[in-house]
Structure 1
Amino acid sequence: MDPKLGRMASSLLALLLLLEGGMFSSSPPPPHSGLLERLFQHIDLHQDEFVQTLKEWVAIESDSIQPVPHFRQELFRMMTMAADKLRGLGARVDSVDLGSQQLPDGQSLPIPPILLAELGNDPRKPTVCFYGHLDVQPAQQEDGWRTDPYTLTEVDGKLYGRGATDNKGPVLAWIHAVRAFGDLEQDLPVNIKFILEGMEEAGSVALEELVEREKDRFFSSVDYIVISDNLWISQKKPALTYGTRGNSYFMVEVKCRDQDFHSGTFGGILNEPMADLVALLGSLVDSSGHILVPGIYDQVSPLTEEEKRLYEAIDLDLEEYRNNSQVEKFLFDTKEEILMHLWRYPSLSIHGIEGAFDEAGAKTVIPGRVTGKFSIRLVPHMNVSVVEKQVTQHLEAIFSKRNSSNQMAVSMPIGLHPWIANINDTQYLAAKRAIRTVFGIEPDMIQDGSTIPIAKIFQDIIQKSVMMLPLGAVDDGEHSQNEKINRWNYIEGIKLFAAFFLEIAKLH
C-alpha cells in the first residue's frame, strides 16, 4: 500500500471512530470530546514525523546481549538521545549511573544509565509512571532479515526494524502522546513519570536495586504504573494484559568423572551419566504435557466462572494461529484449552543437555558429565521455593531407583514468581474506556505465557497498580527476524495513550 493511502485510511478510520463515539452526533458529547478530536487530528497530521523519530531510534544498535564495547557505546548513545527527547517535553530527567558489569570472562563493561524523568507534580492529579526499555536483541541481515534490521523500512504499512515493537515504538508512542498536549497548549490531565532502562533484554541488570532504593523518593507519588512491552493476541483487536507466568529454571547434573569415556573400552561396565540423565528428564512430563512432579498442581488457583467468560470472549482463530505457528497439531483442540494451558496452567519444557556430543557425524563417546536444563512456567499461586523442593525431591527419588553409582546435583539458578493484576483496578477500567474510544471495541483481556519480571518487581516493591497495555500485533515478531510494528498500531497507540490520560484523570 502506498504510504499516503495508508495515512489517509488511518485518518478516515479515526474520523469514523469519532463519529461512532458520538463526537459529531446530536447527542451530548462525552467529556473532553473536543480535546480528543483535536489531539487525534494533530497525531494524524504529524504521523510521518513520529515515524521518522522511530527510524532515528531504530538506527541505534542498542544491543544489550553481545558484551562488546561497540554495542555498549550504542546503548549509552540511545539513553542520551532518549534523555534529550524527555527534556524536550519539559521533563526533569535524572540519568542514574549504575556502575559497571563484571562478565564471566573477566572483562568489565559499563552499565547504561537508567532514566528517571518526571513532568508535573500537581497533587490534585493522579501520577502515572511508564516503564520501557531501549535495548534490543541481536540482529544481522544475514540471519534472515529481508531488510537492514537497523534501518526502519516501511512495506505495506508495516515498519520493519529491530526494536520497532520491542520496545522503542511503544516508548515513543507514550512520549508523543505527552507531547501532543503540549503542542496544542493543553494542560496534561495527569502527572507523568518515566523509568527507561537499557538492559532489559540482558536481565535488567541493577534495576530491582534501583526500584528498591527509589521507592520512597521517585516512586513515592506514583499511583499507577503502565508497561507496554508485550503484544496483542490478535492482528487487529487490541488487548489488555493482566497476568504473566513466572519461571523456575533448573539444571540437573549427573557426573561419573570429568573426562569422557570410549564406549568400546567402558561401554557395558558402568552407569552411563547420559542414560541416567535421559531417565531423569523423561520422568518430568508426559506426552500430553502433564507435569509428573508430585504435588506440582496443588497450589494452582482454581478456575472461576468469571475467568471462563474472559477466555470465551477472546478473539482467536485457532486454525490461523496454528498455521502461523507452523505446527501440525496442538495438544488441545479448543481455543479455551489452548489459552488456559498457555496462561493459567504451569508448563514444563526441556531445553537442552550440556556436555553431550551434539555435532554432525558419529562419535562413540560416553560423556563423563552431563547437565540437563529445563524450566517450569509458574502460575498463581505457585511458590518458587515450594516448586524447587518438589522438583528436587522428585528427581532424587527417580535417581535413587536407578541404583546408579554416579553423582546427581540439582540447582535452580532462576526463580521468578508469576504476576497477576486486578482487572477491576481503576487504570484497567480507564484503559478499557480509552480502547473503546480509539478502536470502537472492547479489548481482549489476556495473560502472557512468558515471564516479564519487572511487573512483579513493581507490584511487590512499590505496591501500586501495575497494568500492561500492549500496542503491537501478534505477528510483530519481537526477538525474531523481520520484527515490525504496523504504522496503524503505532499511530493509534499514540492516540490510545492520550485518551488514557484523560480517562484515568476522570476516574481517579
Structure 2
Amino acid sequence: MLMLAVFHLFFLLVTQASPLDQVLKYIDDHQDDYVKHLKEWVSIQSESGDPLKRDKVIEMVHIAGKAIESLGGSVELTDLGTEELPDGKMIPLPPVVLGELGTDPNKTTVCIYGHIDVQPARIEDGWATDPYVLTERNGKLYGRGASDDKGPVLAWLHAIEAVQALKQELPVNLKFIFEAMEESGSKGLEKILSEKNATYFSNVDYIVISDSGWLSSNPALTYGTRGLCYFLVEVQCAKQDLHSGLYGGVVHEAMTDLIALLDSLVNSTGHILIPDIDEDVVPLTNEEHLLYKTIEFNPEGFKDNIGATRLRHETKEDLLLHRWRFPSLSIHGIEGAFSGPGAKTVIPAKVIGKFSIRLVPDMDPNKVNRQVATYLSQVFAERRSPNKLRITLNNGSKAWVADVTDKQYVAGRRAISRVFGVEAELIRGGGTIPIVRMFQQTMQKSVMMLPIGGAGDAIHSQDESISRDNYINGTKLLAAYLAEISQL
C-alpha cells in the first residue's frame, strides 16, 4: 500500500508539473542530443574572414535555415551581393537568414539575433585539441564557435524544439535573423535592417541577443556596451626606406614623430590627454553606482588570470567602471616598423600608428574624430617637423545602453531566477558590439542581451569553450524567457 501511495504521489507531481517545468525536464533529458548537434555545427569551418572558406560559411547559412524550417518556420535567405577582395576579385557575401515562426496577432513577437560565422582557428595556434572537433573535457565543450555564437544559436532552437516536442503551444511569435559576417563587420546587414524595417520587422516587439557572456559564475543580463573609434596615424619622411648609417642624423625620422604623437595621447595612469574628450560623458548617478556594488568580481583573481603584476585601479567598483562606464584609449601597433627577430638598421619611410578609443554614452564618433585630429595636428605642428601627417578614422560606432526597467529586462530577470534560483547580475560590456545599437537605432525597439556563455569561455582565443552546464541550463533559460515575456 505504501508503494502504491508513493507511486500515486509521484504521478500527481508529474502530471501537475507546469508546462515550463515539463520543458525544462525535457531539455535535461535530451542534453546529449544537444551536444551532438553542437558538434555537427562546430565541425563546419565557417570563418567569414577567410575568402577560401566562403563556401563553408554559405553552407552554414543553409544549415541554419533548414534548422528553422524543421521547427515549422518559414525561411528567406536574403542576398547581400558580393564582396571585393584586396586583389580585386569579387566573391559572394553569405546570405542573411530571415525566419518566422508564428503569426498570431494576439501574441508578443520576439526577434532572435545570432551569428553563425566564427573567428579563425588552427591547432598550431596553441589549441589543446582540434578546434573544429567538439571535445568534452572536465565539463567543458571545446571548439571554435561553441560559445561565440553557434552554441547560443542552437540553444534557442533547442528551447523551441522542446516546447514543440511536448505538444505545447509556443507562447510568442518568433522571428529570426542569423547572419554569417558578424566576425567580419556584419557587411550588408544594416542595409537589410533598413530595407525590411517597415515590412518584415514591423510587428516585432522585442529583440534579444545572446552573443555575449557572464562576468562571473553568476548569470547576467547585459544592458550596455562601449562604442569604438579606431584611428590610423600616418607619418611619412621619405619616398623609400633609408639606411641609418647614411641618413641617420640628417633626416626628420617618421618613427620619431609617430612615437611622440602616440605618447601624447594618454598618460601613465590611463588618463586620455585629448582636451575635452570626455565632456559629453553622461554623469554617473548614485543609483547606477550602486549597481556595481552587488556584482561578483574578484580584482585579484582578474589580475592573476591575465598575468598582470598590478592594475590601474584597486577596488572592484573602480575596475568595473573603467572597463565599462568610462572611455579608454589603447595603442595597438605600428605598421611599417621593423618587428622581426634580429637587427635591421633601417629608417622606415612611412609608419602608421594604430590606436582606439572606447566610447561611452553620449560620446559621438564624429566629434571624437574632430577632437583627435585637432589635437594631434597641434602636437605635430609644435614639433616643427617637415614630414607628412595623415590622421584617419578607420571606423566609428556609438555606445549602447538600455533601460534596465524595461519589460524585457523584467522577463530576463524572472527567467534567470526561475532557472538558476538567483538574482541576475546587471552588467555592461567593455567591448563593442555594433549590431546591438544598429538594431536599436534602426528598429526603435527594446533590445536585450541575454547571454548564456561563461566568463572563461576564451572566445576569439585558443581553446574556446562553453561548459555543458551553461549550454544546457542556458537552453532552459531561453525557454523560460519566452514564457516570461509572453506574460508581460
TM over 0.5: yes
Q: Which amino acid aligns with 1:42?
A: Y
Q: How many residues align?
A: 475
2:35 matched to which residue of 1? 51
Structure 2 unaligned regions, length at least 5: 1-11
**TM-score of the superposition, structure 1-length normalised?**
0.92
Is 1:253 the counterpart of 2:237? The answer is no
Alpha-carbon distance in structure 1 between the residues aligned to 2:364 and 2:42: 39
1:474 aligns with 2:458: no
Aligned counterpart in structure 2 of residue 98 of structure 1, from 77, 80, 105: 80
Deviation at residue 270 of structure 1 after TM alignment: 2.1
Written as runs of structure 1 = structure 2, the 5 A alignment for 1:287-436 is: 287-436=268-417
Distance 2:412 2:418 in 1: 10
2:47 aligned with 1:73: no
Q: Report deviation, 1:153.
A: 0.8
| Partner Cα distance (1:58, 1:422) in 2 | 35
Q: Deviations over 1:136-192 (max 9, x none)?
A: 011111111111111111112101111000000000000111111110111111001
Q: Residues 439-454 of structure 1: matches in 2 within 5 Å?
A: 439-454=420-435
Matched, 1:119 2:81: no
> Could you tell me how far apart the structure 1 residues matched to 2:68 and 2:431 are?
30
**Which digits, 9 at most, give the CA deviation of each residue in 1:454-494, with x for residues without a partner?**
00100000000000011010100101111011110011111
Partner of 1:483: 464
- Structure 2 residue corresponding to 1:137, chosen from 113, 116, 119: 119
Question: For 1:33 and 1:355, how far apart are their aligned partners in 2?
Answer: 66
CA distance in 2, matches of 1:455, 1:247: 13
Q: Matched residues in 1 for 2:26 and 2:344: separation? A: 66
Q: Post-superposition shift, 1:94?
A: 0.5
| CA–CA separation in structure 2 for the residues paired with 1:388 and 1:98 | 30
Q: Distance in 2 between matches of 1:506 and 1:102?
A: 47
**What secondary structure does 1:446 align onto?**
strand
Q: Which whole-Å CA distance do the structure 2 matches of 1:462 and 1:261 have between them?
A: 54
Structure 1 residue 284 corresponds to structure 2 residue 268: no
Pairwise CA distance, 1:355? 1.2
What CA distance in whole angstroms lies between the structure 2 residues aligned with 1:269 and 1:497?
A: 66
**Alignment of 1:187 onto 2:169:** yes
**SS at 1:166 equivalent:** coil
Distance in 2 (CA, whole Å) between partners of 1:335 and 1:387 is 29
DSSP-derived class of the 2:249 partner? coil
Q: Distance in 2 between matches of 1:143 and 1:361?
A: 23
Q: Distance in 2 between matches of 1:57 and 1:241?
A: 26
Equivalent position SS for 1:353: strand
Which stretches of structure 1, 4 residues or more, deviate above 3 A after TM superposition? Answer: none
Report the equivalent of 1:218.
Answer: 200
Question: Aligned AA for 2:23?
Answer: L
Aligned-partner SS, 1:506: coil
Partner of 2:7: none
Structure 1 residue 321: deviation in Å?
A: 1.5
2 CA distance for matches of 1:404 and 1:140? Answer: 45
Query: Matched residues in 1 for 2:351 and 2:101: separation?
Result: 54
Q: What stretches of structure 1 of length at least 5 have no aligned partner?
A: 1-22, 25-31
Counterpart for residue 110 of structure 1 = 92
State how far apart, in whole Å, the 1-side matches of 2:303 and 2:373 are. Answer: 35
Task: Please provide the CA RMSD for this pair.
Answer: 1.2
TM-score by length of 2: 0.96
2:148 match: secondary structure:
helix
Deviations 1:190-220 (A, max 9, x none): 0011000111101111111111110011110
- Amino acid in the other structure paired with 2:34: F
Alignment-mate amino acid for residue 479 of structure 2: A
Find the aligned partners of 1:33 and 1:299 in 2 and give their Cα distance.
Answer: 52
Match of 1:228 among 193, 210, 221: 210
* CA distance, structure 2, for counterparts of residue 80 and residue 452 of structure 1: 25
1:232 and 1:387 map into 2 onto residues whose CA distance is: 30
Q: Return the alpha-carbon distance in structure 1 between the equivalents of residues 383 and 337 of structure 2.
A: 20
Q: 1:74 corresponds to which letter in structure 2?
A: K
Q: Distance in 2 between matches of 1:33 and 1:224?
A: 28
Deviation at 1:258, TM superposition (A): 2.2
Task: Provide the rounded CA distance (Å) in 2 between the counterparts of 1:251 and 1:97.
Answer: 32
Question: What secondary structure, in the 3-state scheme, does the structure 2 residue paired with 1:101 have?
Answer: strand
**Secondary structure class of the residue paired with 1:164:** coil
- The Cα shift of 1:33 comes to 6.2
Question: C-alpha distance in 1, partners of 2:134/2:242?
Answer: 52
Tell me the SS of whatever aligns to 1:445.
strand
- Equivalent residue of 1:409, what SS? strand
Q: Once the 2 structures are TM-superposed, how far is the Cα of residue 329 of structure 1 from its aligned partner?
A: 1.1
Higher alpha-carbon deviation: 248-257 or 264-273 = 264-273
Structure 1 counterpart SS, 2:18: helix
1:484, 1:369 → 2: CA distance? 41
Equivalent residue of 1:336, what SS? Answer: helix
Give the match for residue 60 of structure 1.
44
Classify the secondary structure of the residue corresponding to 1:473: coil
1:33-48 to 2 correspondences below 5 Å: 34-48=18-32
Q: Which amino acid aligns with 1:358?
A: S
